Amino acid sequence: MKKISKGFIALIIVLVCVLGIFSFYKNTYNSMVSLDEEVSASWAEVQNQYQRRLDLIPNLVSTVKGYAKHESDVFTQVSEARSKAGGQINISDEVLNDPDAFARYQQIQDNLGASLQRLLMVTEQYPELKADQNFLALQDQLEGTENRITVARNRFNDTAKKYNKTIRQFPASIIANMSGFEKRPYFSASAEAQSAPKVEF
């Protein structure tokens, strides 16, 4: 009788341990999946704001061209930067698993932001353009979009940091490695392209 009760107790202890390990694995895995989804959602918001900026550019360039016909170099730069960025907006979030692809994506977007800043600097030479209501509305939209891009990128960095921290901490890191969860890259600040265009009236 004593042998049976000892065996039964041992079996219960083993079952409790197995259930505890399973519960820990399940909860940790599900937590990482939730964080990964938050990173993907933040990534989608960054892309939405980049798309919004991309959509504003043709109208902005067209309006500026009406007043500043001699600034063809700037228009060409903006056009080329927009063309490069156009193919890099709604790309798969698989780019988050490739730090080099992520860096190229960021560089293309930063180049577009920098070319837009150059375009807005050119407009300073044309007082009649600065008084154009259509231009002022587009300029406000662009400035608001640049601010939204900065906010979206900051939110992405925050969610990526939370996710990265979770998958790198022990013992969750064991489950992350077994399940294929990979570290996400961060947006880094660009001195000339990360700030919203500065416009003086």
Superfamily name and number for 2-179: LemA-like domain (1.20.1440.20)
Residue by residue, pLDDT tens for the chain (201 residues) are: 455 687 788 889 999 999 999 999 999 999 999 999 999 999 999 999 999 999 999 989 888 888 887 788 888 888 888 888 876 666 777 888 888 989 888 999 999 988 998 888 888 888 888 888 888 899 899 999 999 999 999 999 999 999 999 999 999 999 999 999 999 999 987 655 444 444 443
Residue 49's nearest CA partner among 191, 192, 200, 187 is 187
Residue 98 CB neighbour total at 10 angstroms: 13
- Residues with Cβ within 8 Å of 122's Cβ and at least 6 positions away in sequence, in order, are 64, 68, 71, 74
Asked if 117 and 197 count as a contact pair (C-beta separation under 8 A), the reply is yes
Secondary structure (3-state) at 194: coil
Query: What pTM did the predictor assign?
Result: 0.81
